[in-house]
Amino acid sequence: MHELFIKHQERLELALLHCKNRSYWSPFQESPSSKYHPEGARLKAKERYDELLGEIFPLSQPASIGLVGKEVSPYTQKELGIRYPQHSPNQLIEASKCAQKHWTRSTTEARVGVCMEILDQLAHNCFLNTYASMHTAGMSFMMGFAGSGANALDRGLEALAHAYKAMADIPYQTVFRRSFARGPVVRIDKHYHIVGRGVAVVICCGTFPTWNALPALFANLATGNPVILKPHPNGILPVALVVQTGRRVLAKYGFDPNLILLAADEADNPITIPLMENPHTAIIDFTGSPTFGTWIEENFHKKLVFTETAGCNSVIMESTDNYDGMIHAIAQSLCLFSSQMCTSAQNIFIPAQGVQHKGHRISFEKVQQDIIDRIDVLTADPKVAAALCGCIMSPRTYHDMNQLRELALQQNALLRDSVHYVHPQYPHAATATPMLVAAEFSNSTLYRKEYFGPMAFVIKAPNAQKALEQAALDAKECGSIASYAYSRNTTFLEEIEEAFLDAGASIGCNLIQHLPINFSAAYSDFHVTGLNPAGNACLTDIAFVASRFRIVQIKKER
């Protein structure tokens, strides 16, 4: 048994247990509170982050052809000036291929042990990763610490546990004894070898650089595949930190560090497609836009492709016994990380006759206004707004918002304009509070697609039933990762459940209390169903890991 497997076995077993129980658990620290971390950890990390700026990132990859990197901080609007090694796609694939053989011949326990150690080492890097995530993805400090930190590590461990589970059921060898017809007993030694499929390319997303990348990294690595991480051109640093740690651990334990490679590029010279096209690339994990995701699914069908994209997440309201809680939950979902999450609510269906609350009817107009007001409240205090909304990652989002604003103004449908909030620490931060647009129920071409960023629609539905039908249809045909419903009517709740089961989309009902409704919990929430267009990969079910490796069998008769 590999020393690293023994070292981390208890944690792995707990992860397996919780994947099965699907209750709350995390071995990683989600809180940045100083009481949970070594003295000065946060400050030291900030210093380390500052030292990285303007320098060549220390990463000993194979011979590079130059340097790349043009990341701009959404907080300062300044270039980070960090330069990463540049490689041709072929160079990376070659180095990756060479690294595979020895790795795929090692034991499951060795591979899983090394992955556990990398996760553990990454956990020691949580503050530095926070600053890296803030100044690339535009996350708030808290989101960077938890969402890009502990929560991402949890998703990574969850995928690793599933990979281990899928492989652990296959013994290394067995002795097969049987007689045939009336002959004597035959004895055959059978050896079962787990073999990775080949080079795995992981296309990371800009707004959540690690949350999807870590599951893909560990699912691939554990099952015997070398991994090339291709970060978003404005999200290199958080990924480079993962690669740096991973390579250090691999080398320390005698494995080829090229099992984890960084494929940094710049927006005007992208290498994503050549990396995927290479015949040695066997597995592609993609997180990003539905358009590119669908294109990948259609163009690389000879490879194993896992996608997590997006759709249009709906909110259906019928009745509630906690009106304030409901309004707060919805408003918070629109504000959280400026709706740059695949679980952010977008299409808010309010029945024309309003919403029932403890026997009383609250009018459509009041519900709509209360959401607007609550957004105003949540974003009024710059300190609160900063913690909640963070920054806008991509200038493209402003472009989209301008377009939608123009359209809404033409139609007199702008319910709430998006405004900058002034960040208390970073006066130049790219900020934006949610824009709310009124959409006709019948104008579904407007709202049946993803608007990435702080844009949402209030849609007056003829009634709750029609709202449900439309939301379920949109989920089925246009994709949805998370939808939300509010009803205290048992029959209607059953109808919601049936409609979303038919649509192949997950839904959260009456989510109100002190957990942001956007939150997707590792070991508990299955993220992405694969039954609607918002991606085919589920974090993490057994299908996410099972086909990343294959079994070659060597039989020997004595």
Q: Indicate the residue among 389 and 408 with the shorter CB distance to its own copies.
A: 389
Cα 328 to Cα 336: distance, rounded to the nearest angstrom: 12
Bridge pairing between strands 455-461 and 549-557: unpaired
Applying CB under 8 A, which of residues 63, 178, 268, 445 lies at the interface with its own copies?
Answer: 178
CB of 283 to its own copies, least distance (A): 13
Binding status of residue 490 toward its own copies by CB under 8 A: no
Query: Which amino acid, one-letter code, is at 521?
Result: A
Cα 369 to Cα 353: distance, rounded to the nearest angstrom: 15
315 C-beta neighbours (distance < 10 Å), count: 28
Cα 535 to Cα 496: distance, rounded to the nearest angstrom: 22
Cα 200 to Cα 223: distance, rounded to the nearest angstrom: 11
Binding status of residue 530 toward its own copies by CB under 8 A: yes
The interface region with its own copies, picked from 148-156, 233-241, 370-378, 549-557 by CB under 8 A, is 549-557
Binding status of residue 542 toward its own copies by CB under 8 A: yes
Coil, helix or strand at residue 31: coil
Query: Which amino acid, one-letter code, is at 54?
Result: G
382 C-beta neighbours (distance < 10 Å), count: 14
Binding status of residue 409 toward its own copies by CB under 8 A: no
DSSP 36: G
Binding status of residue 143 toward its own copies by CB under 8 A: no
The interface region with its own copies, picked from 128-136, 161-169, 203-211, 398-406 by CB under 8 A, is 161-169
Q: Which of residues 281-340 bind its own copies (CB under 8 A)?
A: 297-298, 301-302
Applying CB under 8 A, which of residues 160, 166, 199, 203 lies at the interface with its own copies?
Answer: 166
Coil, helix or strand at residue 229: strand
Q: Indicate the residue among 85 and 530 with the shorter CB distance to its own copies.
A: 530
Query: Which amino acid, one-letter code, is at 325?
Result: G
CB of 503 to its own copies, least distance (A): 8
Applying CB under 8 A, which of residues 41, 53, 170, 352 lies at the interface with its own copies?
Answer: 170
Binding status of residue 358 toward its own copies by CB under 8 A: no
Applying CB under 8 A, which of residues 1, 13, 17, 24 lies at the interface with its own copies?
Answer: 24
Binding status of residue 529 toward its own copies by CB under 8 A: yes
Binding status of residue 556 toward its own copies by CB under 8 A: yes
| Three-class SS of 411-422 | CCCEEECCCCCC
Question: In this structure, are residues 129 and 44 in contact, taking their beta carbons and an 8 Å threshold?
Answer: no
Q: Indicate the residue among 442 and 513 with the shorter CB distance to its own copies.
A: 513
Total residues binding its own copies (CB under 8 A) = 76
Contacts of 400 by beta carbon, 8 Å cutoff, 6+ apart: 451, 452, 453, 455
Q: Which of residues 180-209 bind its own copies (CB under 8 A)?
A: 180-181, 183-184, 186, 188, 190-193, 195, 197
Binding status of residue 384 toward its own copies by CB under 8 A: no
Binding status of residue 223 toward its own copies by CB under 8 A: no
Binding status of residue 554 toward its own copies by CB under 8 A: yes
Q: Indicate the residue among 136 and 343 with the shorter CB distance to its own copies.
A: 343
Contacts of 462 by beta carbon, 8 Å cutoff, 6+ apart: 351, 352, 441
The interface region with its own copies, picked from 210-218, 351-359, 375-383, 536-544 by CB under 8 A, is 536-544
Q: Indicate the residue among 188 and 267 with the shorter CB distance to its own copies.
A: 188
Q: Which of residues 72-131 bind its own copies (CB under 8 A)?
A: 101, 105
Cα 181 to Cα 108: distance, rounded to the nearest angstrom: 37
CB of 417 to its own copies, least distance (A): 29
Beta bridge partners of 475: none
Cα 409 to Cα 403: distance, rounded to the nearest angstrom: 10
Applying CB under 8 A, which of residues 39, 51, 169, 268 lies at the interface with its own copies?
Answer: 169
Q: Indicate the residue among 31 and 403 with the shorter CB distance to its own copies.
A: 31
Binding status of residue 526 toward its own copies by CB under 8 A: yes
Binding status of residue 252 toward its own copies by CB under 8 A: no
Instruction: Please state the length of the chain.
Output: 558
Applying CB under 8 A, which of residues 123, 273, 438, 531 lies at the interface with its own copies?
Answer: 531
What is the residue-wise DSSP string for 60-91?
--S--SEEE---B-TTT-SB---BEEE--HHH
User: Which of 442, 555, 556, 540 is CA-nearest to residue 219?
Assistant: 540
Binding status of residue 538 toward its own copies by CB under 8 A: yes
User: Which of 235, 188, 7, 263 is CA-nearest to residue 115?
Assistant: 7
Question: In this structure, are residues 228 and 272 in contact, taking their beta carbons and an 8 Å threshold?
Answer: no
